[in-house]
Chain A
Amino acid sequence: MATKVGQEVSIALGDAVKLANADVIAAYPITPQTHIVEHLAELVANGELDAEYIPVESEHSAMSACLGSAAAGARTFTATAGQGLELMHEVLYVASSMRLPIVMAVANRALSAPLSVWGDHSDVMAVRDTGWIQIFTENGQEVIDNIICAFRIAEDHRVLFPVMVHLDGFHLSHMIEPMLMPDQAEVDRFLPPNNFPLPLDPSHPVTMGDFGPPVVYTEAKWAQEVAFRATKPVILECWNEYARLTGRKYAPMEYYRCEGTKVRLLTMGSFSETATIAVDRMKARGTDIGLIRLRLWRPFPFEEVRQAVENTDVLIVLDRALSSGGPGGPVCSEIKAALYGLDKKPKVVSFVGGMGGRDISPAGFEEIINKGMAIARQGSANEFEIFGVRE
């Protein structure tokens, strides 16, 4: 039976990793991820979790140690944020290309400079194309549920890709929330033991991370891409199975009060929770508005995005990251790309806000929605709108 707990989300996340019975944790502490790995270090030191905790000297080493441990067939977890994720960057590609089922929590953080330890999605967007499955979460319950699901997804032999679970730094990582924590028996039933197909084994030597000259590189990358795109049905299957056990269902795109709405707002992560308040208030005043939440960032859910805008006139997208010199919000540009081929598509308005820990209140979301609807009517010369900047 699940237990209702009131817990800081980072601590609960660590407890979820314990329930998943991780074998190896290699991590370097960085704000706002620190409480996650501190708690895991404590669990290992106290003998509550039988795992190797490797206190590495940098995030580059953290991910490198994770490669080795996952290749040996150990259930492997790490966590990072912001600059730490950037320092891992080159190794992230190795993890996905070598098909190593590592699970990583990312307490999303802005990138320097100016130095910011606070939350936004700049770090996520910089690792968009690294070949990791990426899942956004909105509240503590979604974090622990998706951490448990992430191990099952990553280790499934039809997948064998690493998974990032994104939780907004501070806005989510440091909140104390009520959550239903599954018990060990439930998790054990849901999550089979890791059984990596070709682990490092001295009695059966193999070469991993071999080099790929021009004659094979294209074939190797295409094989990876085909396999990566084929993970989506397995991700859905895992979420459905989890729903059967717990009653909590996750999907690549989720809807909040969208029935019959012609205008929709799209958000990712914890800000979606605040946006629901704005949607409720505006609906009470008779405004035509619904909310769509993007959960699965990679592989990108093209089909679900197209379904999400059927019969709509306006889609307003809020990004918490800036594509410098580019189209504005990285998520919005992907949404536009997904919709470009449709004959009938809504007007898409891109907003960028909530950067570097800047809060957006329910009133702020109302302003975004109203302004977005006005732009959809009148047009704008801008590629995107920056929200909340002081003039």
Chain B
Amino acid sequence: MTKKEGDLTWKDFEVGNIVAEPGSARQYRSGDWRSQRPTYEFSRCIKCGICQIFCPEGCIGQNDKGNFEADAQSPAPLYYCKGCGICARECPTRVITMVEEQE
């Protein structure tokens, strides 16, 4: 889609709402209803990458220092994070703490 969703008029739709552009689902920021976000205490991080493997949304990447975190060079940054907390639960060294989102 060349236009943003909110700018599309009814005349902009393909017949049958077919989406002919591959990969356009990336534009849909599905994490905007998140109520918690992960925070990190990297002094305890052993760079095992377990959080990255378990993240159901593929939000987690490696930052410059080799630590794993959401939104770091990630193909799917934090705006796909639903705040599920799986990363925090699975982290063996308790690097990750979920905190309430402040509006």
Q: How far is the CA of A219 from the CA of B10 in the complex (A)?
A: 4
Residue of A nearest to B5 (CB): A215
Residue-by-residue, is A245-284 near B (CB-CB < 8 Å gives 1, otherwise 0)? 0000000000000000000000000000000000000000
Known: A213-B28, A215-B5, A216-B5. A206 touches B19 (CB 8 A): yes
Number of A-B contacts (CB under 8 A): 52
Contact of B20 among A97, A206, A222 (CB under 8 A): A206
Q: Are A220 and B19 in contact (CB under 8 A)?
A: no
B interface bracket (residues with beta carbon within 8 Å of A): 10 to 19
Q: Are A198 and B18 in contact (CB under 8 A)?
A: yes
Known: A205-B22, A213-B28. A219 touches B16 (CB 8 A): no
- Residues in B neighbouring A215, C-beta threshold 8 A: 5-6
Contact of B18 among A208, A218, A219, A222 (CB under 8 A): A208
Asked if B54 is at the interface of the complex by the 8 Å CB criterion, the answer is: no
Known: A205-B22, A215-B6, A219-B10. A210 touches B15 (CB 8 A): no
- Residues in A neighbouring B11, C-beta threshold 8 A: 223
Known: A220-B10, A222-B10. A197 touches B20 (CB 8 A): no
Residue-by-residue, is A197-211 near B (CB-CB < 8 Å gives 1, otherwise 0)? 110000001111010
Residue-by-residue, is B7-24 near A (CB-CB < 8 Å gives 1, otherwise 0)? 011111111111110101
Contact of B17 among A197, A205, A212, A226 (CB under 8 A): A212
Q: Are B13 and A97 in contact (CB under 8 A)?
A: no
Asked if A100 is at the interface of the complex by the 8 Å CB criterion, the answer is: yes
Q: How far is the CA of A227 from the CA of B16 in the complex (A)?
A: 10
Q: How far is the CB of A43 from chain B (nearest CB, A)?
A: 30
Asked if A121 is at the interface of the complex by the 8 Å CB criterion, the answer is: no
Q: How far is the CA of A100 from the CA of B24 in the complex (A)?
A: 23
Interfacial residues of chain A within 19-69, with CB under 8 A of chain B in the complex: none
Q: Are A210 and B6 in contact (CB under 8 A)?
A: no
Q: Are B28 and A220 in contact (CB under 8 A)?
A: no
Q: How far is the CA of A227 from the CA of B28 in the complex (A)?
A: 27
Asked if A150 is at the interface of the complex by the 8 Å CB criterion, the answer is: no
Q: How far is the CB of A197 from chain B (nearest CB, A)?
A: 6
Residue of A nearest to B11 (CB): A223
Q: How far is the CA of A103 from the CA of B94 in the complex (A)?
A: 59
Contact of B16 among A160, A205, A222 (CB under 8 A): A160
- Residues in A neighbouring B8, C-beta threshold 8 A: 216, 219
- Residues in B neighbouring A206, C-beta threshold 8 A: 18-20
Q: Are A198 and B17 in contact (CB under 8 A)?
A: no
Known: A215-B5, A216-B5. A226 touches B10 (CB 8 A): yes
Asked if A174 is at the interface of the complex by the 8 Å CB criterion, the answer is: no
Residue of A nearest to B15 (CB): A99
Residue of A nearest to B20 (CB): A206
Residue of A nearest to B19 (CB): A207
Q: How far is the CA of A213 from the CA of B13 in the complex (A)?
A: 14
Known: A213-B28, A215-B5. A220 touches B17 (CB 8 A): yes
Q: Are A207 and B5 in contact (CB under 8 A)?
A: no
Q: Are B16 and A100 in contact (CB under 8 A)?
A: yes
- Residues in B neighbouring A98, C-beta threshold 8 A: 16-18
Q: How far is the CA of A68 from the CA of B12 in the complex (A)?
A: 25
Known: A215-B5, A216-B5. A210 touches B19 (CB 8 A): yes
Q: How far is the CA of A379 from the CA of B42 in the complex (A)?
A: 85
- Residues in A neighbouring B18, C-beta threshold 8 A: 98, 198, 206-208
Q: How far is the CA of A100 from the CA of B15 in the complex (A)?
A: 10
- Residues in A neighbouring B6, C-beta threshold 8 A: 215
**Residues of B near any A CB (own CB < 8 A):** 5-6, 8-20, 22, 24-25, 28
**Residues of A near any B CB (own CB < 8 A):** 97-100, 160, 197-198, 205-208, 210, 212-213, 215-216, 218-220, 222-223, 226-227
- Excluding A208-B18, A213-B5, 4 further A-B contacts by CB distance (< 8 Å) are A198-B18, A218-B10, A219-B12, A223-B17
5 shortest interchain CB distances as A-B pairs: A99-B16, A207-B19, A219-B10, A223-B10, A222-B10
Q: List 18 A-B contacts (CB under 8 A).
A: A98-B18, A99-B15, A99-B16, A160-B16, A197-B15, A198-B15, A206-B18, A206-B19, A207-B18, A207-B19, A210-B19, A216-B13, A219-B8, A219-B13, A220-B13, A222-B10, A226-B10, A227-B15
